[in-house]
Amino acid sequence: MIRIAVLASGSGTNLGALLDACAGGQIDGRVEVVLSNMPGAGALERARAAGAATEVVPSKGVQRESHDAEVLARLSRHTPDLVCLAGYMRLLTPRFVSAYGPTSSTRGCPRIMNIHPALLPSFPGLHAQRQALAYGARFSGCTVHFVDEGTDSGAIIVQAVVPVLESDTEEALAARILSEEHRIYPRAVQWFAQGRLALEGRRVTVRGSRPPEPVALRSPWDE
């Protein structure tokens, strides 16, 4: 059983998916603590309802280094094996990233993951769904990746693809992507818990996983 810390700034539906997967046995782990920089975050309510500890470290007007130092101090009380960012709207300092870098037992993998609502490296940063729509991409999706010091630039663990429909609004596309987020994030965390992930260079391997069906997706479809 791994000890998981989740950092979230918003409503926490991905947190909810992780909590459910832990409770349902799809993740061999437990969410020990949920930390938020937003005192009113819905994620904190979900955490309390699930019996996880909560920590609030407000970030407004606080310098990044001192905020992260406090976050690190609070997290260390809960000795997490893995830190999951789930809608955490802060870029981590190098000090934070190295505090949860690889250990001798993680096969080169850092111990921080993030979920991003686009097919990285396309559309990093804020409003990824809006960016995909405005760009005219025919497909978008979501990515679970390890966290490095950049914005959404760490090694990719798993992605899911969804079509962008001509009728889409930002909200409709975001909802389609979100339901895939809730599927792939728990899986990536379970692979970590099972020790199945390894990282070499930028390439992550997942031991025992099957390759995808050898199909190509095309959009639009007119045959």
Note the residues at the interface with ligand GRF (CB under 6 A). 8, 10-14, 86-87, 115-117, 178, 181
- State how far the Cα of 100 lies from the Cα of 80, in Å rounded to an integer: 9
Nearer residue to ligand GRF within complex by CB, 81 or 152: 152
- State how far the Cα of 173 lies from the Cα of 131, in Å rounded to an integer: 11
Residue 9 CB, nearest approach to ligand GRF (Å): 7
User: Is the alpha carbon torsion for 58, 59, 60, 63 positive or negative?
Assistant: positive
Q: Which of 78, 116, 127, 145 is catalytic?
A: 116
Using Cβ positions, the residue closest to ligand GRF within the complex turns out to be 87
Nearer residue to ligand GRF within complex by CB, 12 or 80: 12
Collapsing DSSP states into helix, strand and coil, what is residue 184? helix
Residue 10 CB, nearest approach to ligand GRF (Å): 4
Residue 185 CB, nearest approach to ligand GRF (Å): 8
Nearer residue to ligand GRF within complex by CB, 64 or 182: 182
Q: Are strands 197-200 and 29-36 parallel, antiparallel or unpaired?
A: unpaired
Q: Please list the residues that pair with 161 across neighbouring strands.
A: 141
Assigned token pair, 51: 């019996």
Distance of CA 27 to the CA centre of its chain: 15
Confirm whether 78 is a catalytic residue: no
Residue 188 CB, nearest approach to ligand GRF (Å): 13
* Residues identified as active-site: 116
